[in-house]
Amino acid sequence: MDIVSIIAGLGIGAIAGGLAAWSLINSKLRSKDVEIKEKDAEVRGKETEIRDLASGIASARTALKLKEEELEKMQEKLTLQFENLANRILEVNTQKFELKSQQSMQQLLKPLGEQILEFKKKVEDTHIEDTRQRSTLEERIRGLIEQTNVMSAQANNLAEALKGSPKTQGNWGEMILERILEQSGLERDTHYVMQESFRNEQGNILYPDVVIHLPGERVIVVDSKVSLVAYERYASGASAEE
């Protein structure tokens, strides 16, 4: 086989390999773009949930205020009843009061004492329940805020890493390419070599990202250049020219 045929075979193989690698890398980029959008949607969902919980807290506070007003009215009612009771006691005949003072006082004060105890218990129960509900809501909100911040940071870090310097994009492209080769069943240093150097016909030293060895001493040279910025512009283009 002459040198022209070998070079032609290498060129065709390199083009085919490059197209296949680019198709797989393009698929990975689309997957990452979907992942970023899902993260953004999840963050928006958490923000909505936080707003709902905040609304719940406002409703709980309104309900508590209504309960406090109700308890205040009950207290005023008890005060009025106590004043009426005192007036009734003063109206009792002095002689009858002295004879039956102890029994009469117990009978008169027992309903009032029961109402006072009921009022006290209702106040305590209301305070305990409000404290518990407020603590639970505040704890859930803190947890949601932390989750939202973490997911926002992860989404931003992922996007910035893929839009960073050419060196970062190149390293990421090499990692994706090697992962594709591994998933295809190829073994490093057996079926392919990373960063292998060789001289071309002009004597220049070349460092391709991957050299895939094929049967018959043929090879496919792959250079994993990738730019998420260019891909993003392509994906968001409004027309075929863009």
Residue 124: per-residue pLDDT: 79
Pairing of β 192-194 and β 210-214: antiparallel
Neighbours of 31 (CB within 10 A): 10
Domain residues of the chain, as ranges?
A: 3-235
Residue 227: per-residue pLDDT: 59
Band the pLDDT of 204: cuts 50, 70, 90. confident
Residue 112, SS3? helix
DSSP codes of every residue in 170-198: HHHHHHHHHHHHHHTT--BTTTEEES--E
119-123, 151-155, 185-189, 209-213, range with the lowest pLDDT: 151-155
Band the pLDDT of 236: cuts 50, 70, 90. low
pTM value is 0.36
What stretch of H or E contains 212? strand 210-214
Residue type, 4: V
The mean pLDDT of 77-97, rounded to a whole number, is 69
39-53, 100-114, 171-185, 191-205, range with the lowest pLDDT: 100-114
111: closest CA among 134, 84, 129, 136?
A: 84
Higher-confidence position of 133 and 99: 133
Give yes or no for a contact between 184 and 21, defined as CB atoms under 8 angstroms apart. no
Residue 212 pLDDT more than 70? yes
Residue type, 169: Q
Percent of the chain with pLDDT over 70: 64
Residue 177 pLDDT more than 70? yes
15: closest CA among 181, 220, 236, 241?
A: 220
Band the pLDDT of 90: cuts 50, 70, 90. low
- Strand ranges inside 70-209, DSSP E: 192-194, 198-199, 205-206
Residue 31: per-residue pLDDT: 76
Residue 108: per-residue pLDDT: 65
Kindly indicate whether the domain formed by 3-235 is annotated with CATH number 1.10.287.1490.
yes
Give yes or no for a contact between 197 and 207, defined as CB atoms under 8 angstroms apart. yes
Residue 219, SS3? strand
> How far apart are alpha carbons 207 and 199 in whole angstroms?
9
Band the pLDDT of 172: cuts 50, 70, 90. confident
- Mean pLDDT computed over every residue of the chain: 73
Higher-confidence position of 75 and 112: 75
Residue 15 pLDDT more than 70? no
Residue 8: per-residue pLDDT: 52
Q: Which two tokens stand for residue 115?
A: 């109402």
Percent of the chain with pLDDT over 90: 0
